[in-house]
Structures are given as structure tokens and as C-alpha cells.
Amino acid sequence: EDQVTQSPEALRLQEGESSSLNCSYTVSGLRGLFWYRQDPGKGPEFLFTLYSAGEEKEKERLKATLTKKESFLHITAPKPEDSATYLCAVQAGAGGTSYGKLTFGQGTILTVHP
């Protein structure tokens, strides 16, 4: 069974205080690892897809990295507008049988104080 565990459950930062969110996963045949941002009362918004260990992607103050067992979302010099819930998800299944289905973690609630 595919599993995704995110830590910490909640993270409070001061503006400008860099930190990282963790996503540990167990999956049979990783096809992709995804990061989403979710604001209160809204649907998740796609951020990144990572496909293989060693891969990195960046967007503004966010950088996602991937190893064979986990992914990190690094937040550099965060601002209050970065406050949101960050979701990690995996797509499993080699050979085209996953039908795009994702298994999500429970999320990390990030709060950035001015």
C-alpha cells in the first residue's frame, strides 16, 4: 500500500526565517512526486512535479528536492503570503496503470508571522 507522511503537522516561522517541510513516502514504482499549496477554503494549487532522485525544482522562494525515500520543500526567507497548507502526493505504478491517481499526505500547515 502506498503511503505518504508529512512532517511537521504545523510549522510557525517568522518572516525571513528559512526552513524545510518533509514528505516521506513508500510506493511501488514511483512515477512522480507532487507538491501542492492549499489556501483556506480553496482547492489545492499545483506547485511542482519531481520524477527521480536528485531532481530539484524552484519557484520563487520555494525549492523542492527528491531522494529515493523522501522529498523536501525548502522555503527561503518566507513572507506572510506563503502561509498555507502544503500537500505532498505520489503517483505510483509502472507501466501506465496508475490512471493518474495520487496518494496524498495529510499536509503541513505553514504560518509565517510578520
Task: Summarize as ranges the residues that interact with another protein (CB under 8 A).
Answer: 4, 31-32, 34, 36, 41-47, 49, 87, 89, 91, 96, 98-102, 104-107
Are 91 and 32 in contact, with CB atoms under 8 Å apart?
yes
CA distance 23 to 5: 6
CB 54 within 8 A of CB 66: yes
User: Could you tell me the smallest distance in angstroms from the CB atom of residue 101 to another protein?
Assistant: 6
Query: Closest distance between another protein and the C-beta of residue 36, in Å?
Result: 7
Q: Least separation, in Å, of the C-beta of 44 and another protein? A: 5
d(CA 52, CA 83): 28
Instruction: Give 27 or 79: the residue with its C-beta nearer to another protein.
Output: 27
